[in-house]
Amino acid sequence: MTHRFLEIATTPAVRAAQEAQGSRRAYARQEEGAPHHDRLGDSEAAFIASRDSFYMASVSETGWPYLQHRGGPPGFLRVLDETTLGFADLRGNRQYLSLGNLSADDRLCLFLMDYGRQARLKIFGHARFHDLAAEPGLARRLIVPGYRAVPERGMTIEVEGFDWNCPQHITPRFSEAELGPALAPVRQRLEELEAENARLRAELAGRVRS
């Protein structure tokens, strides 16, 4: 019936806040028509495949939200199909807060950032954990070859809805890998100047000795 992410997120209290702040009419228009933003398309798949980290929110049994950072090689969060994501859950500090929260309540929200391009993608979904030793086919799809980390389990996410945010107030930041090509000419020029400086110093030293 609607923009699926906003349908989930827009509770009566949220509608009341929108009404009070004067934005309710604009968002009400998105609550009409056929479902959309419930299946990942090419744009979402490409964006997810290029991410090397994301934030994952869960809720504890006492109602407290918990936000965790997950990182790995670009593309470690796999798009398995248009409604399913997955990744190898790697060994960390062994607090298992997200594991415990999601075992009691499988609902989660992912927050994926691209600071350089000032883009962000939010995803609602349901989590499911897998014994990768018992599911070798899934293990091959989730484990990143050559990455030196210990996968403790697999995790798949059934996507319920997603939303793209506007770029307002996102300060551009760039990773070392993103800056490398742009800085390569600068580094080359510095090396040339250092070599020239060494040559001139040597030449000057030779004149002083003579």
CATH code of the domain containing 89: 2.30.110.10
Whether residues 152 and 72 share a domain: the answer is yes
Whether residues 19 and 113 share a domain: the answer is no
- C-alpha span between 200 and 70 (Å, rounded): 50
Strands 65-71 and 119-130, bridge-based pairing: unpaired
Whether residues 82 and 139 share a domain: the answer is yes
- Give the pLDDT confidence of 86-101 residue by residue, as tens digits: 999 998 888 999 999 9
User: In terms of residue numbers, what domain contains 185?
Assistant: 174-210
Whether residues 46 and 139 share a domain: the answer is yes
Any domain includes 124: yes
Whether residues 123 and 43 share a domain: the answer is yes
Whether residues 147 and 61 share a domain: the answer is yes
Any domain includes 169: no
For residue 192, the SS3 value is: helix
Nearest to 175 by CA among 186, 167, 183: 183
- C-alpha span between 58 and 114 (Å, rounded): 22
- Give the pLDDT confidence of 116-162 residue by residue, as tens digits: 889 999 999 999 999 999 999 999 999 999 998 889 999 999 999 99
Provide the 10 A C-beta neighbour count for residue 183: 13
Whether residues 45 and 128 share a domain: the answer is yes
State pTM to two decimals: 0.84
Give CA separation, 106 vs 25, 138, 139, in Å.
32, 20, 21
Q: What are the structure tokens assigned to 96, written together?
A: 């298992």
Any domain includes 57: yes
Any domain includes 49: yes
Q: What are the structure tokens assigned to 192, written together?
A: 């040339």
